[in-house]
Amino acid sequence: MNQLFRSLREKVDAGTRITDAEALMLFESNELLAIGELAALANRKKNGDRVFFNVNRHINYTNLCVNRCKFCAFSKESGESGEYTLALKDVRSKAQEAAAVGATEIHIVGGLHPELPFDFYLQMLRTVKEVSGDLHIKAFTAVEIDYFTHLAELTIPQVIEELKAAGLDSLPGGGAEILGQQVRDKICPEKISGVRWLEVTEMVHRAGLKSNATMLFGHLEEYRDRVEHLSLLRELQDRTGGFQTFIPLAFQPDNTRVPGAKGVGGVDALKTLAISRLYLDNFQHVKAYWVMLGLKIAQTALCFGVNDLDGTVVEEKIGHDAGADSPQALSKNGIIELIRKAGRSPVERDTLYNELKVY
């Protein structure tokens, strides 16, 4: 093991790539602190001691979804109690509230609604831009983009062009789950394949939009599935350079239907974030999404290679419907304090990582 860490230290110093076999050995190792130290070093070389956050607001426009992934406690069927779909006036007032408190980003995702026409999505984007042209709209996963092609009877590039014209600025990283098909067949059999997620994302990047990438971990995947997932992302990033941030999402098990899945402990969460930083040498940013990790692990992750804490969020449903015990929202001062108390420098960013203010 010492030999592995010596050789990885040389690689980090030289900026050389780590291999799939090395990543797998790290996942199988219990040397959390040694892994974290290497990841922190790799991050320090890329990002110094600065930690990014933004002031954002999530809007989940509907929880009706034709897919019903087994890990998802958010989605509902038509007629089920608790189902909802926002009217455009609700979207407008949420965007207005966000703009009033200085948000720079609106993060919009939802279920695959059985009936809404493609025009609803265009109207939703226009509605947010009417509130303020300065709000960056990060919206729709590759899964939703693929769904829109069926609704609109358009190709992916055509759908992206229409969405861009209506105000879409970038995409979040959801829907990636675990890209390997064997795992997908068990946890989200109705969802687009991993291959399709990569194809759609490549077309998004080729259309000039940035996106993020996530990985849902801690359900029934093996370590090798995580390594394969990271490898597919690193390979796509080599070709497009369109990913901004990697976000490992810790699985929340409540109200879900994945047999045997128990959720993620702190050690696995920190190890996964750290290995992601080490393996994804072509990603500038690794985000600890505090909603799924909890505030304490998200803060600790700053010592394990992480340089981004996401944002204020305001109203989160996907993780909380599945039992996340983090708060619903964080104030800007709350995030700044979290970062300062970890001995790091808080930097407010916009969605594209332009620095807005150093605290």
Q: Given the complex with ligand SF4, which of 52 and 197 has the nearer CB atom?
A: 197
Q: How many helices (H) and strands (E) does the chain have?
A: 14, 10
What whole-number distance in Å separates Cα of residue 55 and Cα of residue 51? 14
In angstroms, what is the minimal distance from the CB of 65 to ligand V47? 11
Site residues (CB under 6 A) for ligand V47? 71-73, 172-175, 177, 212, 214, 216, 247, 249, 251-252, 256, 289, 292, 310, 318-319, 322
Q: Residue for token digits 């419907």?
A: 321
Size of the site for ligand SF4 (CB under 6 A): 12
Cα separation values, 242 from 13, 172, 227, 236, Å: 25, 12, 20, 9
Counting contacts by CB under 6 A, is residue 292 touching ligand SF4?
Answer: no
Stretch that binds ligand SF4, among 51-59, 63-71, 163-171, 334-342 (CB under 6 A): 63-71
What angle, rounded to 10 degrees, do the helices at 223-240 and 194-206 form? Answer: 20
Counting contacts by CB under 6 A, is residue 173 touching ligand SF4?
Answer: no
In angstroms, what is the minimal distance from the CB of 143 to ligand SF4? 5
First to last CA, the chain: 40
Counting contacts by CB under 6 A, is residue 258 touching ligand SF4?
Answer: no
Counting contacts by CB under 6 A, is residue 65 touching ligand SF4?
Answer: yes
**Contact partner, 319, from ligand V47, ligand SF4, none, Cβ < 5-8 Å per class:** ligand V47
Cα separation values, 43 from 33, 49, 91, 358, Å: 15, 9, 37, 18
In angstroms, what is the minimal distance from the CB of 208 to ligand SF4? 25
Counting contacts by CB under 6 A, is residue 179 touching ligand SF4?
Answer: no
**Contact partner, 292, from ligand V47, ligand SF4, none, Cβ < 5-8 Å per class:** ligand V47
Phi then psi for 86, rounded to 5 degrees? -75, 140
What whole-number distance in Å separates Cα of residue 122 and Cα of residue 129? 11
Here's the x/- map for ligand SF4, 185-224, by CB under 6 A: it reads as ---x--x---------------------------------
Q: By CB under 6 A, what part of segment 117-146 binds ligand SF4?
A: 143
Element (H or E) spanning 202, and its range? helix 194-206
